[in-house]
């Protein structure tokens, strides 16, 4: 039986009266591209810190590639590369020196070829001999990614890796990370850019108040709420009363309506015609991950609500993640 890349069992973390995590259980398969989403304060970074061995869980266990993060912490940390959310760097070294020192932490005496390759993919080669203090915020973010990859860990955790970086870096980073994933590396991503999670992740867990409130394939999450959205620009700029009840967002110069299915689009048009209202623009779209996320976060997921785990499902075998 293949060992899970990450296995978390009933992990709780309390800071006094504050429960940052409450009984989180999660298994991530080897080679998976997995998303961990939630609002600020949901417990995402705390969970990552538990997996990385930076925070001790109050209860429960966590394993990386089968190694307990407490009992076998040396082995577990060799299996893991973490890109932290904060910009943390040593101001006394150049980029190349920082990566060489990071290699030394893992006992890699001659890692020059891989360091050069990582710098190339992250567009750091021209800055290799530049002191870390002289780098822009985006460049420092690239170095953090390089440091997480320098020992070639089988499991990579990216905690908001594209926060505050430009579009060019974001595209280059995802191209490189996709390639690492295709090569067999497990990738765990936390991000507030939900379009990134939708495009990249095979499976997603959503956290709220320290609990997992949704866990499914990205495909199934997008199908969770049936129906469609209609964006309208009208002349005159008003809606009949019956349609006004369907408005989910008042847009500049228009409206966004939520419909149960595509059949209702014709009903909307009929209502508008009956009211003497002309359609100037019309766009029909399916719910995206952002809308699914907002709806789930707005659900009652406290104790007693859907047993506290509203959308957790059996996600099946890796071949079913398409």
Q: What CATH code is carried by the domain that includes residue 55? A: 3.40.50.300
| Joined tokens for residue 310 | 């509203």
**Domain count across the chain:** 2
Return the pLDDT at 272.
93
Sequence-separated (6 or more) residues with CB below 8 Å from residue 117 = none
Residue 187 predicted with pLDDT over 70? yes
Q: What is the pLDDT of residue 300?
A: 58
SS3 call for 15: strand
Higher-scoring residue by pLDDT: 8, 306? 8
pLDDT of residue 1: 67
pLDDT in tens, 190-230: 988 898 999 999 999 999 999 999 999 998 888 776 678 89
Cβ(231)–Cβ(283) below 8 Å: yes
Report residue 311: phi and psi, to 5°: -135, 30
Average of pLDDT values for 256-276? 88
User: Above 50 in pLDDT, residue 289?
Assistant: yes
Question: In the prediction, which pLDDT does 201 show?
Answer: 95
Q: How far apart are CA 75 and CA 46, in angstroms?
A: 21
Note the maximum CA span of the chain: 77
CA 124/CA 110 separation, integer angstroms: 19
Q: Are residues 163 and 274 in the same domain?
A: no
Q: Give DSSP secondary structure letters for 259-304.
A: ESSTHHHHHHHHHHHHTT-EEEEEEEE---HHHHHHHHHHS--STT
In terms of domains, do 251 and 302 share one? Answer: no
pLDDT of 303 higher than 50: no
Whether the pLDDT of residue 294 is over 70: the answer is yes
CATH of the domain at 262: 3.30.70
| 158, 274: one domain | no
Output the pLDDT for position 309. 38
pLDDT (tens digit, 9 = 90+) per residue, 118-167? Answer: 999 888 999 999 999 999 888 888 899 899 999 999 999 998 887 767 78
Q: Is the pLDDT of residue 44 over 90?
A: yes
Q: 37 is written with which tokens?
A: 């989403």
Task: Give the span between the Cα atoms of 172 and 133, in whole angstroms.
Answer: 23
Token pair belonging to 170? 């974001």
| Residue-level pLDDT at 217 | 93
| Confidence (pLDDT) at 285 | 81
User: Are 191 and 304 part of one and the same domain?
Assistant: yes
Q: What is the residue-wise DSSP string for 29-92?
A: -TT-EEEEE--TTSSHHHHHHHHTTSS--SEEEEEETTEETTTTHHHHHHTEEEE-SS----TT
Distance, first Cα to last Cα, the chain: 22
Enclosing domain of residue 210: 6-79+153-222+293-313
- pLDDT exceeding 90 applies to what percent of the chain? 56
pLDDT, tens only, 74-121: 999 999 999 888 888 888 999 999 999 999 989 888 899 999 999 998
pTM of the full predicted structure?
0.77
- Contact call for residues 297 and 206 (beta carbons, < 8 A): yes
């Amino acid at each position: 039986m293949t060992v899970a890349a990450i296995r978390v069992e009933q992990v709780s973390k309390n800071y006094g009266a504050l429960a940052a995590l409450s009984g989180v259980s999660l298994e991530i398969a080897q080679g998976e591209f997995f998303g961990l989403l939630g609002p600020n304060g949901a417990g995402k970074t705390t969970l990552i810190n538990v997996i990385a061995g930076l925070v001790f869980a109050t209860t429960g266990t966590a394993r990386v590639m089968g190694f307990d993060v407490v009992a076998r912490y040396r082995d577990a940390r060799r299996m893991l590369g973490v890109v932290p959310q904060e910009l943390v760097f040593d101001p006394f070294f150049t980029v190349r020196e920082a990566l060489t020192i990071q290699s030394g932490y893992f006992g890699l005496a001659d890692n020059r070829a891989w360091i050069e390759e990582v710098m190339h993919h992250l567009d750091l080669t021209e800055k290799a001999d530049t002191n870390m203090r002289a780098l822009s915020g985006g460049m420092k973010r690239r170095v953090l990614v390089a440091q997480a990859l320098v020992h070639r860990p089988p499991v990579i955790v990216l905690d908001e890796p594209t926060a505050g970086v430009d579009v060019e870096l974001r595209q280059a980073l995802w191209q490189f990370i996709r390639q690492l994933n295709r090569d067999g590396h497990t990738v765990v991503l936390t991000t507030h850019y939900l379009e990134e999670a939708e495009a990249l992740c095979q499976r997603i867990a959503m956290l709220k108040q320290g609990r997992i409130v949704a866990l499914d394939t990205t495909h199934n999450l997008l199908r969770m709420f049936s129906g469609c959205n209609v964006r309208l620009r009208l002349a005159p700029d008003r809606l009949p009363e019956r349609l006004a009840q369907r408005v989910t967002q008042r847009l500049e110069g228009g409206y966004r309506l939520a419909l149960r299915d595509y059949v209702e689009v014709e009903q909307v048009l009929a209502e508008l015609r009956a009211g003497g209202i002309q359609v100037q623009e019309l766009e029909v779209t399916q719910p995206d991950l952002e809308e699914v996320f907002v709806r789930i976060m707005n659900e009652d997921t406290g104790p007693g609500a859907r047993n506290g785990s509203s959308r957790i499902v059996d996600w099946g075998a890796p071949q079913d993640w398409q």
